[in-house]
Amino acid sequence: MWHDDILGTIGGTPLVRVNRLAAHLPGTVLAKLEYFNPGGSVKDRIGISMLEDAEARGELAPGGTIVEGTSGNTGVGLALAAIARGYTCIFATTDKQSPEKIAILRALGAEVIVCPTAVDPEDPRSYYQVSRRLAEETPNSFYMNQYDNPANTLAHLRTTGPELWEGTEGRITHLFVGSGTGGTISGSAAYLKERNPDVRIIGVDPYGSVYWKYFHTGEFDEDEIYPYVTEGVGEDILAGNMNFDIVDDYVRVTDRESMLMTRRLSREEGMFLGGSCGMAMAGALQWMEANRDAIDDDAVLVVIMPDGGYRALGKVYNDVWMQEHGFLEEDETLTAGALAARRSTEKALVSAPADMTLDDAIGVMREHAISQVPVMEGEEVVGSLTERDILRYLMGDPDARAHLVRDLMGPPFPVVRASSPVHGFADQLRGEQPAVLVREEDGTLGILTRSDLISALGAGSGGDEWPENVRTRKQLSNNRVTTESILRARDADRK
């Protein structure tokens, strides 16, 4: 069985039990993992729904252009639908969205205009207004307007709601959803309430959004609007798709709670998710704690997880970004000493004495496979020597190899304390400095280079190191999986 195009793979996302994080609570807590959609988010559902609705109403002509304001995920869903149906896309987004989201949109062939976040919705620079203007200026185009387009809500009434009901065999008692455009919560709730009016719908909002207060007071309070970093949820407007009448309660969550919960979901549940998922789960657990007496053991509580973690690698899963935003305490993050200890099993710092010849210094660097060394005069660091310096000397002076290092060295590398968090010295390695020295409490020195920082951050928040022995291509070729070996394994399994 195959699908005619990528759109056939949308929907049918799994429900997975939340074990460790909800172990102390009554009932069964489930996560609906929307990153299993082909575009990686719940918004794949509304992309094709809004496109087909526009086609049916004659708003989109063959070869036309889809225009939309998006935080990234809706754009991906629309881009997939556009590729399958032969349209082009122009998207306006905000500068708080992750670079990964913008890169994905462009990889899918969309034109992307990045707009400032911290402006009023009516400001002509806002992504709401820019997308509207682009639709007016672009021939044969249609502005999807996910905020007010009823096909957004309809997508979840037709797909997400039924999946929640069928996936829990009609046992779902509570649904927790973060809301932006309002389509997911409104469409899913409409279906579930139709099947069982007693199902409770709880919205989750970030601080800085207007929804929480509007739900509880009916007041649109502009003083509640301020910047927050959690992407794709909350609003500074009242979206047309947001139906507060079928929502039973609302909770709100700080950015810090959202980001830390996102990391916990990855580490403790194996769910590699985006920041809005951490927000939804943090809000859900907060509500369950406050209302645990009203939750019985037979309750089935579902949290919709809108997207996956790959689009958050530069933010939620980056210790530097987390520290810079105050989401990690210093003892929770990587330090210079920890990274220096990670880089090598050698305790002693490799250095070049100032009275060594350049030729001997080159030999030391080759022996240890390093590209820079501090220059020492006794116990004192007096300078530095880098591959770039050496190349310049050798190209300019045929006799440079015989010169003493002290006559050729550059300024010393900066020295940082071992307890310094990464964010405290990362800017130095982003600039001209190729390395920093790390001073331990006992006075001994270590060294950190750009590649050490890249390796540490690239390994993820768990800090896994590279394997000690990396197999060569020849070694890999000696362990090829062949058709014969697969068939032998299958036959052995059958026996």
Q: What is the pLDDT of residue 460?
A: 43
Average pLDDT over residues 179-190: 96
Question: What pTM was computed for the model?
Answer: 0.70
Q: What is the pLDDT of residue 481?
A: 47
Band (pLDDT 50/70/90 cuts) for residue 182 is very high
Q: What is the pLDDT of residue 42?
A: 97
Q: CA-CA distance, 394 to 386, in Å (whole number)? A: 12
Band (pLDDT 50/70/90 cuts) for residue 332 is low
Name the residue among 186, 214, 213, 211 with its Cα closest to residue 201: 186
Tell me if residue 32 is catalytic: no
Q: CA-CA distance, 417 to 132, in Å (whole number)? A: 52
Residue 50 has pLDDT above 80, yes or no: yes
Q: What is the pLDDT of residue 457?
A: 60
Is 411 buried (19+), middle (13-18) or exposed (0-12) by CB count in 10 A?
A: exposed
Band (pLDDT 50/70/90 cuts) for residue 445 is confident
H helices within 168-274, ranges in order?
183-195, 211-217, 255-269
275-to-162, 272, 470 alpha-carbon distances in Å: 26, 10, 33
Asked if residues 207 and 228 have their Cβ atoms less than 8 Å apart, the reply is yes
Q: 38: which strand partners?
A: none
CATH (residue range 6-40+152-319):
3.40.50.1100
Asked if residues 266 and 21 have their Cβ atoms less than 8 Å apart, the reply is no
Q: CA-CA distance, 336 to 447, in Å (whole number)? A: 9
Domains 6-40+152-319 and 327-458 share a fold: no
Both tokens assigned to 300? 């089935």
Phi-psi region of 326 (alpha: psi -120 to 50; beta: other; left: phi over 0): left
Q: What is the pLDDT of residue 338?
A: 73
Residue 484 has pLDDT above 70, yes or no: no
- For residue 455, give the H/E element and its range: helix 450-458
Query: Could you read off the pLDDT of 418-439 as tens digits, one per residue?
Result: 777 776 677 677 667 788 888 8
Determine which one of 32, 43, 101, 315 is catalytic. 43
Asked if residues 115 and 208 have their Cβ atoms less than 8 Å apart, the reply is no
Both tokens assigned to 281? 């789960």
Band (pLDDT 50/70/90 cuts) for residue 159 is very high
CATH topology of domain 327-458: CBS-domain (3.10.580)
What's the DSSP call for residue 9?
A: G
Domain locations in the chain as residue ranges: 6-40+152-319, 44-143, 327-458
Asked if residues 200 and 176 have their Cβ atoms less than 8 Å apart, the reply is no
Rounded percentage of the chain residues whose pLDDT exceeds 70: 88
Question: Is residue 167 classed as helix, strand or coil in its secondary structure?
Answer: helix
Between 457 and 181, name the one with better pLDDT: 181
Q: What is the pLDDT of residue 459?
A: 47
Query: Could you read off the pLDDT of 74-131 as tens digits, one per residue?
Result: 999 999 999 999 999 999 998 888 888 899 999 999 999 999 887 888 899 998 899 9
Name the residue among 145, 156, 155 with its Cα closest to residue 239: 145
Name the residue among 374, 455, 386 with its Cα closest to residue 415: 374
CATH (residue range 44-143):
3.40.50.1100
Q: CA-CA distance, 197 to 373, in Å (whole number)? A: 71
DSSP string, 81-126: HHHHHT-EEEEEEETTS-HHHHHHHHHTT-EEEEE-SSS-TTSTTS
Length of the chain: 495
Q: CA-CA distance, 295 to 73, in Å (whole number)? A: 33
Query: Could you read off the pLDDT of 17-37 as tens digits, one per residue?
Result: 999 999 999 999 999 999 999
Q: CA-CA distance, 363 to 351, in Å (whole number)? A: 12
Name the residue among 221, 231, 271 with its Cα closest to residue 255: 231
- Compute how many other C-beta atoms are within 10 angstroms of the C-beta atom of residue 189: 28
Q: What is the pLDDT of residue 330?
A: 53
